[in-house]
Amino acid sequence: MFELMREHQLPELHFFQQDRLNAIVAIHSTELGPALGGCRFVPYSDTASAALDAARLAQGMSYKAALAGVPFGGGKSVILYPEGEFDREALFEAFGSVVEQLNGRYITAMDSGTHVEDMDIIRRTTSHVASHSEIGDPSPHTARGVFHGIKMILEEELNIPLDKATVAIQGLGNVGYALMEKLIEHDVTMIVSDINQERTRRAMKEYGVFVAPVSELLTEPCDVLAPCGLGGVITPELVPRLNCKAIAGSANNQLLNLESGELLHRREILYAPDFVINSGGLIYASGSYNQLPKNQIENNLENLTSTLTKVFSESHKQNKPSDQVAVTMAKEIIANHSK
């Protein structure tokens, strides 16, 4: 565990055990403000993989918050799936009480496997929770941010008008489906896929979009590939087979490793770092938590495109992969703040 913390520059990794609750809270940084990040409730093969996921995601949240200009640090939590039958309400109430023990150093929110209703239950035992029902699901705001990013990439970086562009979306979940709808509104040609056939059937029925087989979506010819399913999909083996000009989607940790970013850079495929382009949900949830006026939240959300432009221009200037440039920029913001 200490090795894991060192590797992810994670100063705090909390383990909580209370009745049926086994929970982990990873806090990566609190320099810019309290660590904000979702609570995952998905099955893991073991505790070490859950801790690794929390650590990696907490680090990503720090960079995301820094580049989005929101006054929060990075954190993430995981509730381990209890074996056998369990009382979901009791579990999330207990989780609220452990969040409370951290005295506001960590603010929790929705993530994979948790819902607005769970956040309302957590809220009974702590006030340190965003995305409860008065704030709502951040996904449509994440989708809007990704849409603004893709629009900017097409129009300003690739010189392709929206109505002449083709975007391929992998994963039609909460974010992917809303993103598809926004792009269709602007006459973008769509290619989609999802392992869940109910979602692709719905997309075909409602919008008549082209559905690609799951195994072929990533290599379909398109202008922008938008991974909106799981992380780690851009592997070094995949990069030479890609048929897109840019990659811009919502999934966290899209690049399997640094090599994937380097190969994309060498092939001149523009990569929008995930923690920049998918920050719309964080901007919305943190702004609502801090009770910012709606128009200010909206401005902050649209501004993520200027951060992207800056990342791309530094990447050209320094001849360095965009993901590495964005990490350096985020680290500088955090370091300069704590000086």
Instruction: Give me the residues that bind ligand NAD (CB under 6 A), please.
Output: 112, 138-139, 142, 170-176, 193-196, 199, 214, 228-231, 250-252, 278, 281
Which distant-in-sequence residues (6+ apart) come within 8 Å of 221 by Cβ? 166, 243, 244
Q: How far apart are CA 77 and CA 81, in angstroms?
A: 13
Quick one: 172 or 334, whose CB is closer to ligand NAD? 172
Contact 282/304 with Cβ under 8 angstroms?
A: no
Signed CA dihedral, 314, 66, 291, 132: sign only: positive
Quick one: 252 or 322, whose CB is closer to ligand NAD? 252
CB of 251: closest distance to ligand NAD in angstroms?
4
Q: What share of the chain is helix, strand, coil (3-state, %, to 5)?
A: 50, 15, 35
Helix crossing, 322-338 with 258-266: angle to 10°?
120
Residue 113, annotated as binding a ligand: no
Quick one: 108 or 170, whose CB is closer to ligand NAD? 170
Structure tokens at 108: 């929790």
CB of 194: closest distance to ligand NAD in angstroms?
4
- Which one of the listed residues 64, 76, 151, 245 is annotated catalytic? 76
CA distances 139 to 54, 65, 244, Å, are 20, 16, 25
Among this protein's residues, is 151 annotated catalytic? no
For residue 266, give the amino acid letter.
Answer: R
Element (H, E) at 265: helix 258-266
Residue 172, annotated as binding a ligand: yes
CB of 163: closest distance to ligand NAD in angstroms?
25
Residue 6 dihedral angles phi and psi, to the nearest 5° = -60, -45
- Going by their DSSP bridges, the two strands 73-79 and 106-109 should be labelled as unpaired
For residue 1, give the amino acid letter.
Answer: M
CB of 69: closest distance to ligand NAD in angstroms?
17
Structure tokens at 169: 């979306």
Q: Locate tokens 């060192």: which residue?
A: 6
Quick one: 171 or 287, whose CB is closer to ligand NAD? 171
CB of 279: closest distance to ligand NAD in angstroms?
8
Residue 175, annotated as binding a ligand: yes
Quick one: 93 or 298, whose CB is closer to ligand NAD? 298
Element (H, E) at 191: strand 189-193
Known binding site for NAD(+): residues? 171-176
Give the residue numbers marked as catalytic: 76
Known binding site: residues? 171-176
